[in-house]
Amino acid sequence: MAKKYQKIVEQIASLPWSKLDKEGMLSLMVLSAYSAKEFAESLRIALDEFPYNPNLQKMAKGELGTDNLQFNGYTRHGDHADFLWDVIEKEKLKKKVSPKVFIVGEKYLQEVKKLPKELRAMSIFSREKILPTIYRNILKNKNWKEPALQAYQYYIKRHIELDAGKGGHGDSTAELPVTDEVEKFYSMRLNMYKNLF
């Protein structure tokens, strides 16, 4: 039986991603950068909450302080969020994307910070199996010619590989506890994305 939070995830996955124009896709990339920043913060909380879980430790090594994202000269160690923020800076997206998008991203970050640590950790455990489906739907969009979006496309494809592959991040977190409390987190994520449409 599907859990409540999975219904919200289905709503996120079924948003009309393919209809976003170039500016919409750049805005989505910015929101993804905020999501990635929040993910890194929540993952570190999860590591504090479950310090002796080897699977979580293994998964974290592929997300934090890693060099497994390499594209167009970017080869440095860092969190996955660092990759997106590096592109945002190099491509001067603050001049190409509405300031409102950055405000929405900041608001999302601050809202998630208010959630209990246990819930933030749980959001990590629930995400790795879910994200590839959402990413695949985003990839159906045709606007990838902009240099920043080419980097974003690489980022998405790479995450599908890391999360969905056998023994990947989805498998590493599959046995960790998830309850419908995490519905609060996904409601915040859905509300953030709705600003694009």
**Which percentage of the chain shows pLDDT scores above 90?**
69
| pLDDT(48) > 70 | yes
Residues 77-89 pLDDT 10s:
999 999 999 999 9
Residues 1-21 pLDDT 10s:
458 888 999 999 999 999 999
**Residue 151 binned pLDDT confidence (cut-offs 50, 70, 90):** very high
Residues in Cβ contact with 34 at an 8 Å cutoff, skipping those fewer than 6 apart:
105, 106, 108, 109, 192
Question: What pLDDT shows up at residue 1?
Answer: 42
Question: Nearest-CA neighbor of 196 among 12, 7, 35, 25?
Answer: 25
Question: What pLDDT shows up at residue 53?
Answer: 85
- From residue 149, give the alpha-carbon distance in Å to each of 26, 44, 183: 7, 28, 30
| pLDDT(168) > 60 | no
Residues 88-126 pLDDT 10s:
999 999 999 999 999 999 999 999 999 999 999 999 888
Question: What pLDDT shows up at residue 176?
Answer: 74
